[in-house]
Homo-oligomer: A and B are copies of this chain.
């Protein structure tokens, strides 16, 4: 049989260890915050010496990059799995955004890694960023089918991802619509806190 290429056990083990490292990294990051990723702690939980990690990743930022790629891939996969895109492009966009909100709420560390840039030296490699980019290109087609050219798609995500804080919105002609949006949000939240019965003992302390 000339098919059946020889399996490289080494490569398998390599990939397995890489996955193990990343899993531990996610755990650490979810527990202590995105910025609190220590190679030494990481190596300890794996059972290696810190320097041995460099057999699998070129640097700490390379680990962040691999995590970014994982997160971006999860974004693409989960989106395609959960969404059947409606024919109406506008409706499809709404569905994407609802997914986006839920995705970000599910894992704040992952959200921070993907959509905020809080780690000083890090930015995703072109290869990793391409995952997000390709996905956005697809969404761009949605807009293209509506006759929109050069759609600043990412602004849309930024707008809802950063909580309507984008300066662009304020400068927007017709920006008073944003004000009305905020007003409605307030009314909504006002009703929310008025009606809600707080579960005793579960009163978490919000951030600010």
* Chain A residues near B (Cβ < 8 Å): 32-36, 90, 93-94, 97-98, 101-102, 104-105, 108, 111-112, 114-120, 132, 136, 143, 146, 148, 150-152, 154-167, 169-170, 172-174, 177-179, 181-196, 198, 206-208
Cβ-defined contact, B182 with A101, below 8 A:
yes
* Chain B residues within 8 Å of A178, by CB: 188
Contact residue among B132, B143, B181 (Cβ-Cβ distance under 8 Å from A184): B181
Copies of this polypeptide in the complex = 2
Given A118-B33, A177-B188, A182 and B94 contact (CB-CB distance below 8 Å): yes
Given A35-B118, A165-B111, A186 and B90 contact (CB-CB distance below 8 Å): yes
Known A-B contacts: A116-B118, A136-B208. Give 14 more (CB < 8 A). A35-B118, A35-B119, A36-B120, A90-B186, A105-B166, A108-B165, A115-B207, A150-B198, A152-B196, A152-B198, A160-B164, A162-B163, A163-B163, A173-B196
